[in-house]
Amino acid sequence: MIDQKQCEIDIEKVENTKIHDVDFDKLDFGRKFTDHMFYCDFIDDEWQQPKIVPYQAMTIEPSARVLHYGQAVFEGMKAYKDTDGNAFLFRPEDNHRRINISAARLAIPEFPKDYFMKGLTTLIEMDKDWIKSGDGNSLYIRPFVFAIEPAISAAPAEAYRFMIICSPAKAYYTDKVRVIFAEEYSRSANGGVGFAKAAGNYAAQFYPTRLAQQKGYQQVIWTDANTHEYLEEAGTMNIFFRINDTLVTAPISDRILDGITRKSIIQLAEDNNIPVEVRRVKVSEIKEASRNGSLKEIFGTGTAAVISAISAFEHGNEVFEIPDMENAYADLLKKKLVNIQQNQSVDKYGWRYEIK
């Protein structure tokens, strides 16, 4: 689909693959990387020759703006392999669109679509052996861009590096998770950068998340910074509530990431006759629904975990347990989505993107 002449990538292959050193049954998320990486520098007002080289450390100036001002955005996506060994991406153009939305908010130049798609597909084609078929296996793909200009005045950089690195992954969260609804800390402000996959949004969550973990919860569900009355999203997942038979999820806003899994799940739910309401969700409503038994499920959606079921939440020092349920929407919708991603079912949406 991509015009070869539009963008030639300079390729340097590894002499020996590292794949035999990796135990694919024991993968700690995001610590092992494939043989190659893609990069492309923005210098003198334009993106330079894109390159694929052996995965390696790089040099950076101590004054590189990213280290001081967090001028960096990223994406997260996955490649899957079917049982015949064909490799697929999932809605990759949406990741391209979103990284440029994030970039614009951080005054980072947009990355051209043909560079993105060709870099991505060429890299994955080269490192295809790192994608294992089978349930939960995938290749996690991390496109990111950061300011490399060596200058510490507080202003947007004039030089950037765009990269793609890939890490083989097993299922991310396997067990159900216990969460805490935020009452004091917050993730993003109106008019802020919450809707962007801006690097700084994530570091800002580490400390409150650690506090939650010390209390026995794996994650924080963020509420609006202003009143803490409305549920927004988790650190790397959008959130759905099943009340009786209806799924409810918060609308996207300038505080909430427009998740690709979220919108796919909304579509799949609607097409499977599950009513979906996209509206603001009050903490008090969810507590009340839990008390009166109408809260059937809570789950998060995101590329890393696909769907992650939540078994309990804490708010106001009260713990609300969510009983397991037969025919959970989380299971049904996850299966539908994973089947499309892994080429186990017809994809009437055109979401699957074969790499060849």
Ligand X SMILES: Cc1ncc(COP(=O)(O)O)c(C=O)c1O
Task: Count CB atoms within 10 A of the CB of residue 199.
Answer: 20
- Choices 25-33, 37-45, 136-144, 234-242 (CB under 6 A): range interacting with ligand X: 234-242
For a copy of itself, how many residues bind (rule: CB under 8 A)? 70
CB closer to ligand X, 148 vs 204: 204
Q: Distance between CA 84 and CA 245 in Å, rounded?
A: 37
Task: Count CB atoms within 10 A of the CB of residue 4.
Answer: 8
Tell me the residue type at 38: F
Q: Distance between CA 222 and CA 179 in Å, rounded?
A: 10
Q: Which of 216, 222, 295 is nearest to 255 (CA)?
A: 222
Interaction between residue 142 and a copy of itself (CB under 8 A): yes
Q: Are the C-beta atoms of residues 190 and 254 closer than 8 Å to each other? A: yes
Which positions from 66 to 105 touch ligand X by CB under 6 A, shown as an x/- string? ----------x-----------------------------
DSSP 198: B
> Minimum CB separation from a copy of itself for residue 180, in Å?
13
Count the alpha carbons within 13 Å of 41 in the hemisphere toward its beta carbon: 9
Among ligand X, a copy of itself, none, partner that 295 touches (CB below 5 to 8 angstroms by kind): none
Q: Are the C-beta atoms of residues 337 and 264 closer than 8 Å to each other? A: yes
b/e 82-104 (16+ beta carbons within 10 angstroms → b): eeeebbbbbbbebbbbbbbebbe
Give the one residue of 52, 182, 257, 355 binding ligand X; rule: CB under 6 A. 257
Which positions from 24 to 63 touch ligand X by CB under 6 A, shown as an x/- string? ----------------------------------------
Interaction between residue 143 and ligand X (CB under 6 A): no
Which positions from 285 to 324 touch a copy of itself by CB under 8 A, shown as an x/- string? ----------------------------------------
> Minimum CB separation from a copy of itself for residue 285, in Å?
21
Residue 295 structure tokens: 């809260």
Give the one residue of 40, 260, 298, 355 binding ligand X; rule: CB under 6 A. 260
Residue 38 structure tokens: 């893609």
Among ligand X, a copy of itself, none, partner that 230 touches (CB below 5 to 8 angstroms by kind): none
- Choices 108-116, 229-237, 269-277, 336-344 (CB under 6 A): range interacting with ligand X: 229-237
> Minimum CB separation from a copy of itself for residue 118, in Å?
19
CB closer to a copy of itself, 228 vs 263: 228
Q: Which helix (H) or strand (E) holds 261?
A: helix 260-271
Interaction between residue 120 and a copy of itself (CB under 8 A): no
Q: Which of 157, 152, 215, 139 is nearest to 183 (CA)?
A: 215
Three-class DSSP labels, 280-340: CEEHHHHHHHHHHCCEEEEEEEECCCEEEEEEEEEECCEEEECCCCCCCHHHHHHHHHHHH
Which positions from 156 to 185 touch a copy of itself by CB under 8 A, shown as an x/- string? x------x-x-x--------------x-xx
Task: Report the interface residues with a copy of itself, using CB under 8 A.
Answer: 28-31, 33, 37, 55-63, 66-72, 74, 104-107, 140, 142, 144, 146-147, 150-156, 163, 165, 167, 182, 184-193, 198-207, 209-210, 225-226, 228, 235-236
Task: Report the interface residues with ligand X, using CB under 6 A.
Answer: 76, 197, 233, 236-238, 257, 259-262, 301-303
